[in-house]
Amino acid sequence: MRPWRRLIAGAAFAAAMLVGVSASAQTPSLQIPAAAQASAAFDPVRATNAYLASVPPEKKARSDAYFEGGYWLQLWGFLYGAAILYALLASGWSAAMRDRAERLTRRRPVQTLIYWFQFNVVLALATFPWTVYTDFFREHQYGFATQTFWPWLWDQTKGFGLALVLGGLALMVLYGVLRRVGRSWWLWATGVVVAFNVLVAAIAPVFIVPLFNTYTRLTDARIRDPILRMAHANGIASDDVYVVDQSRQTTRVSANVSGLLGTQRISLNDNLLRRCSLEEIEAVLGHEMGHYVLNHLAKNLVETSIVVAIGFALVGVGFERMRQRRGDWRISAVGDVAGLPLIALLFSIYAFAATPINNTIVRETEYEADMFGLNAARQPDGFANAALKLGEYRKLAPGPIEEFIFFDHPSGRTRIFSAMRWKAGTPSASDLRPAAR
């Protein structure tokens, strides 16, 4: 998904993949390398290296290739999207789509909606080969995807419908505002985008995710009870943990906190439940509780708003210059919907340049949640093992600059080291909390 589209579709959209299944009777047991076992000679660096060395070289090479390939995909995806947006402007298609909308109705909001439908269809068709490659073929190539083509396409179609409806509503509001305000439009646009993100985040677990996956309550008491004890001990009143049947789409292990304004919930996916030991599940859920207790959704929203506001301010300058210079694009003002591809193009350039900033905003809160989770779950080896599983699709040991630019979560090495450092600093951590079986 293009950055600007992700923006419009809302931050919570990215989290929209999960499903529920009861835990298998056989819970896997925890593996701890010899050098990471608690002992008088315990050394966090040596323990971290022992964990990293436990990954077979061919598995590590595969994960590195997948993740590093993603760096290039970000670049090509940005350029591909930018070329399409530019072509829409330069070919006169954008102005023609607006003219068509104006011929069909005199009502401005409906014109905006008709323009959006045309724009979205053209964009979806033009990016379809790219979407098929990145989201389908490549995911199968690396063994993550579990869907055949038609179910995959059906999910894509639902996503498209959702973008049509939610994006259409957002755009009608946005252009309603843009037609009425002057030079301060960038501030108003930020307000609309942020309000829309709040709305999408709030409805995501209830109305969006269920379109793709099924949430069920976790009922296995051996797993649910320790998790709920940890939740209650940390002031989370919830009596439910949700499992989402993400194995419908992928083999990846994941968990998340979603929702806002009363719809918040913690959920783990069925891959995590099936493949992880209780120690790992506790470690991961401790991390998710960190997001919850430390109010990360609200915090990220505020930080993101600042980034968006700066973005729109810069876009505003570029927009006016380009609009005046390119009279042949026939954009009358910022409130003219024919200028949408130009706003999207300029914003995508900004978002691409701001990639390290956006990643760092998220990565910092992820690190905070890691620290919270270690203290709450007291399962450093569970956390290290979970980090190795996440390392199947995220490069385990990047360089520091690479981690700064491309990682929206701490790398596996950073996370394992955090866990081993915690273990070293917490006397007899290993026997503080033997997992109940």
Binding site for Zn ion (CB under 5 A): 366, 369
- Interatomic CA distance for residues 10 and 316, integer angstroms: 21
Q: Which is nearer to Zn ion, 127 or 365 (CB)?
A: 365
Q: Find the shortest distance in angstroms from Cβ 132 to Zn ion.
A: 29
Q: Which is nearer to Zn ion, 257 or 354 (CB)?
A: 257
Distant-in-sequence, close-in-space partners of 348: CB < 8 Å, separation ≥ 6: 2, 3, 4, 78, 81, 82, 85
Q: Which of 309, 9, 305 is nearest to 171 (CA)?
A: 9
Residue that is written with structure tokens 């999408």 in the block: 200
Q: Which is nearer to Zn ion, 101 or 361 (CB)?
A: 361
- Interatomic CA distance for residues 215 and 374, integer angstroms: 26
Q: Which is nearer to Zn ion, 268 or 369 (CB)?
A: 369
Q: Find the shortest distance in angstroms from Cβ 308 to Zn ion.
A: 21
Q: Find the shortest distance in angstroms from Cβ 240 to Zn ion.
A: 19
Q: Which is nearer to Zn ion, 369 or 419 (CB)?
A: 369
Q: Which is nearer to Zn ion, 336 or 366 (CB)?
A: 366
Residue that is written with structure tokens 């930018």 in the block: 82
Q: Find the shortest distance in angstroms from Cβ 67 to Zn ion.
A: 17
Residues in the chain: 437
Q: Find the shortest distance in angstroms from Cβ 369 to Zn ion.
A: 5
Q: Which is nearer to Zn ion, 19 or 369 (CB)?
A: 369
Q: Which is nearer to Zn ion, 139 or 366 (CB)?
A: 366
Residue that is written with structure tokens 């809160």 in the block: 365
Q: Which is nearer to Zn ion, 111 or 250 (CB)?
A: 250
Q: Find the shortest distance in angstroms from Cβ 70 to Zn ion.
A: 18
Q: Find the shortest distance in angstroms from Cβ 291 to Zn ion.
A: 6
Q: Find the shortest distance in angstroms from Cβ 316 to Zn ion.
A: 33
Q: Are 156 and 131 in contact (CB under 8 A)?
A: yes
Angle between helices 57-90 and 108-131 (to 10 degrees): 140
Q: Is 105 helix (H, G, I), strand (E, B) or coil?
A: coil
375-378 contacts at long range (C-beta below 8 A, 24 or more positions apart)? 375/286, 375/422, 376/230, 376/233, 376/234, 376/286, 376/289, 376/290, 377/230, 377/282, 377/283, 377/285, 377/286, 377/287, 377/433, 378/426, 378/429, 378/432, 378/433
Enter the DSSP assignment of 18.
-
Q: Which of 24, 27, 25, 46 is nearest to 35 (CA)?
A: 46
Q: In whole angstroms, what separates CA 232 from the centre of its chain?
A: 27
Q: Find the shortest distance in angstroms from Cβ 80 to Zn ion.
A: 29
Q: Which is nearer to Zn ion, 280 or 366 (CB)?
A: 366
Encoded amino acid at 437, one letter: R
Helix/strand/coil (H, E, C) string of 304-367? Answer: HHHHHHHHHHHHHHHHHHHHHHCHHHCCCCCCCHHHHHHHHHHHHHHHHHCHHHHHHHHHHHHH
Q: Find the shortest distance in angstroms from Cβ 20 to Zn ion.
A: 20
